[in-house]
Amino acid sequence: MLSYRATLDVPRALAQRIAGLLLIHRAAIGTRRGRRVMGCFAQAVLLLRFMRQRAAIADLAVDNAVSLSTAYRCLHEALNVVADQAPALANVIEDALDFGYEHLLLDGTLIATDRVHDSGLRSDRWYSGKHKRHGGNVQVVCDPDGQPLWVSPVEPGSTHDLTAARRHVLPVLYPAAVRGLPVLADKGYIGAGAGVRVPVRRPGAGQVLDASTRGWNSYINADRAFVEHGIAHLKVRWRALSRVTLCPWRISAIIATALVLSSWENRY
């Protein structure tokens, strides 16, 4: 067997912060000292390897000399602990108003996952006809510079962006729009309602938009382009989001963890 040393390109302080949260969690649930096969720091590194390198669970189990079931259990526990630190949308809105943001950015993204069929249903809800693949739909809210501020729980990939936004985002955004904080989005959110600014669709039958409307579309598209950068950063930096092999409903915890880790990492 060949052994080798490897490095993980994340700040050590990030692992220490996760380990501190895990220590608090273990105390809260009454875990006695010495009863866990993995220490808090080792569990934090396991989480970071999964998130950053998309390491296979079987490899994580071997590297930590634990069973496969223990590795899964430690991973899911760490995901839940870190994901619980993700901010609520209402708090994000209040902070944005306090900071005086001119607008927020909203977009949806598909997190690819293994092929999943819902038993007993005729259609496969996790298949996205738009992207021609299986995955989960997640809504992302960013600041004007494209920094992700909030992510929604996952919806099956067949869910339209507007439908997902109505379930998780718009009820909180409407009051903020009344207070002067609009949201910029793409054409997929046409019909979202007041406060959600979207481009105007090009009319059919060979008609063209007038100059003022084209200018409006250019303004919306130029400013909302930053949300694509923010989503790309999450997916590229945290490779676990490139393709999720766990239960697709766990995408909620994985992307919330990525959001929290990105926020913490920017401080180091």
Shared domain for 130 and 192, answered yes or no, is yes
Shared domain for 100 and 39, answered yes or no, is no
Of 48, 83, 118, the domain-final residue: 83
The per-residue pLDDT for range 135-174, each reduced to its tens digit, is 999 999 999 999 999 999 999 999 999 999 999 999 999 9
Shared domain for 55 and 132, answered yes or no, is no
In a domain, 261, yes or no: no
Shared domain for 106 and 161, answered yes or no, is yes
Assess contact for 64 and 38: CB atoms under 8 A: yes
The per-residue pLDDT for range 219-234, each reduced to its tens digit, is 888 888 899 999 999 9
How many CB atoms lie under 10 A from the CB of residue 266?
Answer: 8
- Give me the pLDDT at residue 124, please: 83
In a domain, 138, yes or no: yes
The chain-wide mean pLDDT, for the chain, equals: 91
In a domain, 259, yes or no: no
pLDDT of 100 over the 70 cut: yes
Q: Is the pTM of this model over 0.85?
A: yes
Instruction: Find the helix or strand (DSSP H, E) in which 93 lies.
Output: helix 89-99
In a domain, 44, yes or no: yes
Q: What is the domain range of residue 137?
A: 89-246
Shared domain for 116 and 229, answered yes or no, is yes
**CATH number for 163:** 3.30.420
- Give me the pLDDT at residue 123, please: 64
Q: What mean pLDDT comes out for the span 70-97?
A: 96
- Give me the pLDDT at residue 171, please: 93
In a domain, 32, yes or no: yes
- What count of Cα atoms within 13 Å lies in the side-chain half-sphere of residue 127? 10
Least confident stretch, 13-22, 87-96, 124-133, 197-206: 197-206
In a domain, 267, yes or no: no
